[in-house]
């Protein structure tokens, strides 16, 4: 059997490649640009883990298989599915992959389960901080506890919007777009403070940073550097009716059996691009530790390439001896419909 195509279409970033590889072959924005129409805005086909524009999303699928090469349509495919993904999206994905792209077989696996495969562990608490989804999912012996998943926290894209608004309300002479705010954030100019009040009391000369935008304009960034990321822990700053990330974690653990809670706290796996923020792991550790008894050990595992965790996990998953048997063939799908692709692998 040919190695599978591993497909992780994230709200912000698409990661695609071949099973068995250590890294995805292609990583690109989940954005459709119509270069032929001048001044036309980019189309963003996904929002909060769900597809909001299937016409645009189909172009992302087509582009992905073009990038993976001619042979790729003959490979089986593993599709990563967000824990809160809609049934309609799963149906449409299968339709596009089987009927338009023409792949021979497919398996859909929960994004959280895949992320844990990156670590090689079978039990753990997966915390995803992505561009459009922030969720916490407990996994026990490879089984996801769907009833205990929590989501709805501040996401990477919320932080971009917030940072852009903050920068536009300070003394900068230039307007900073959301896209520019995103690159400022990703450059490492922003960080998570260890003590928010201490950071606010620091002298501005310790904080202020001059930043050069891609077009050469200079802007001054001050407290926005840590105020932006603070929204993860204090969502009220962006007026968002969502819980802080440490609260989501504690809520999820408390929905699990009392006998496994300690184990989950000592096996936290943080994944997703937004978790690369400087200072985030240390601050999260502190905030969780404040909410649990002293005797509970809080251990946060953070792999270096955790922004690709679901993809890497998918690559590992596709090499398991059981993988072949999980694949649903096109003939099976045509005979039995979408139901054959569901109710397995946490989907």
The binding site for ligand ATP (CB under 6 A) comprises 10-13, 49, 82, 130-133, 156-157, 182, 185-186, 272-274, 276-277, 307
Dist. CA 174–CA 98, nearest whole Å: 48
Helical (H) or strand (E) element with 323: helix 323-326
Binding partner of residue 13 among Mg ion, ligand ATP, none, CB cut-off 5 to 8 Å per kind: ligand ATP
Site for Mg ion in 174-193 (CB under 5 A): none
Least CB distance to Mg ion at residue 271 (A)? 8
Give which of 93, 101, 100, 108 is closest to 75, Cα–Cα: 101
Q: Is the dihedral of CA 83, 78, 101, 69 positive or negative?
A: positive
Binding partner of residue 314 among Mg ion, ligand ATP, none, CB cut-off 5 to 8 Å per kind: none
Least CB distance to ligand ATP at residue 304 (A)? 12
Dist. CA 88–CA 4, nearest whole Å: 24
Site for Mg ion in 86-145 (CB under 5 A): 130
Binding partner of residue 132 among ligand ATP, Mg ion, none, CB cut-off 5 to 8 Å per kind: ligand ATP
Q: Chain-centre distance of CA 7, in angstroms?
A: 13
Least CB distance to ligand ATP at residue 36 (A)? 26
For ligand ATP, give the closer residue by CB, 189 or 296. Answer: 189
Least CB distance to Mg ion at residue 128 (A)? 6
For Mg ion, give the closer residue by CB, 8 or 180. Answer: 8
Least CB distance to ligand ATP at residue 26 (A)? 13
Give which of 114, 3, 8 is closest to 61, Cα–Cα: 8
Binding partner of residue 244 among ligand ATP, Mg ion, none, CB cut-off 5 to 8 Å per kind: none
Extract the tokens encoding 326: 């999980």
Q: CB–CB of 226/192 below 8 Å?
A: yes
Binding partner of residue 307 among Mg ion, ligand ATP, none, CB cut-off 5 to 8 Å per kind: ligand ATP
Binding partner of residue 131 among Mg ion, ligand ATP, none, CB cut-off 5 to 8 Å per kind: ligand ATP
Is residue 313 a contact residue for Mg ion (CB under 5 A)? no
Least CB distance to Mg ion at residue 157 (A)? 12
Dist. CA 227–CA 263, nearest whole Å: 33
DSSP-assigned beta bridge partners for residue 220:
210
For ligand ATP, give the closer residue by CB, 43 or 73. Answer: 43
Dist. CA 316–CA 344, nearest whole Å: 18
For ligand ATP, give the closer residue by CB, 119 or 277. Answer: 277
Dist. CA 103–CA 74, nearest whole Å: 6
HSE (side-chain half, CA atoms, 13 Å) at 41: 4
Q: Which 3 state secondary structure label does DSSP give 247?
A: helix
Site for Mg ion in 7-26 (CB under 5 A): 10
DSSP letter at 121? Answer: -
Least CB distance to ligand ATP at residue 273 (A)? 2
Quick one: three-class SS letters along 31-53?
CECCCCCCCCCCECCEECCEECC
For ligand ATP, give the closer residue by CB, 278 or 296. Answer: 278
Least CB distance to Mg ion at residue 188 (A)? 21
Do strands 26-29 and 46-47 pair parallel, antiparallel, or not at all (unpaired)?
unpaired
Binding partner of residue 274 among ligand ATP, Mg ion, none, CB cut-off 5 to 8 Å per kind: ligand ATP
Least CB distance to ligand ATP at residue 226 (A)? 13
Q: Which residues contact 238 (CB under 8 A, 6 or more apart)?
A: 154, 158, 161, 162, 231
Binding partner of residue 185 among Mg ion, ligand ATP, none, CB cut-off 5 to 8 Å per kind: ligand ATP
Site for Mg ion in 316-345 (CB under 5 A): none
Note the residues at the interface with Mg ion (CB under 5 A): 10, 130
């Amino acid at each position: 059997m040919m190695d599978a195509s591993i497909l992780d279409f994230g709200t912000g970033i698409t990661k695609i490649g071949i099973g068995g590889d250590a890294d995805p072959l292609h990583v690109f924005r989940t954005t459709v640009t119509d270069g032929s129409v001048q001044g036309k805005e980019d189309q963003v086909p996904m929002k909060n883990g769900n597809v909001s524009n299937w016409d645009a999303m189909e172009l992302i699928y087509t582009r992905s298989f073009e990038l993976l090469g001619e042979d790729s349509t003959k490979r089986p495919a593993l599709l990563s599915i967000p824990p809160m993904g809609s049934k309609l999206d799963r149906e449409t994905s299968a339709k596009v992959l089987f009927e338009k792209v023409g792949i021979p077989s497919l398996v859909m696996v929960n994004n959280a389960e895949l992320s844990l495969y990156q670590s090689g562990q079978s039990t753990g608490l997966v915390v995803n901080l992505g561009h459009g989804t922030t969720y916490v999912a407990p996994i026990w012996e490879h089984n996801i506890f769907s009833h205990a998943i929590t989501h709805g926290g501040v996401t990477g894209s919320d932080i971009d919007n917030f940072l852009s608004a903050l920068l536009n309300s300070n003394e900068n002479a230039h307007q900073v777009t959301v896209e520019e705010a995103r690159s400022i954030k990703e450059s490492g100019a922003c960080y998570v403070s260890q003590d928010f009040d201490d950071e606010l009391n620091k002298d501005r000369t310790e904080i202020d940073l001059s930043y050069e935008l891609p077009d050469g304009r200079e802007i001054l960034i001050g407290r926005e550097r840590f105020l932006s990321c603070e929204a993860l822990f204090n969502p009220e700053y962006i007026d968002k009716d969502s819980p802080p990330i440490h609260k989501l974690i504690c809520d999820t653990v408390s929905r699990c059996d009392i006998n496994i809670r300690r184990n989950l706290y000592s096996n936290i796996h943080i994944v997703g691009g937004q978790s690369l923020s400087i200072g985030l792991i240390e601050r999260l550790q502190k905030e969780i530790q404040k909410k649990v008894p002293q005797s509970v050990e809080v251990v946060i595992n953070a792999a270096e390439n955790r922004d690709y965790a679901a993809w890497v996990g998918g690559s590992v998953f596709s090499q398991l001896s059981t993988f072949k048997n999980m694949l649903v063939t096109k003939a099976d799908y045509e005979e039995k419909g979408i139901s054959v692709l569901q109710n397995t692998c946490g989907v």
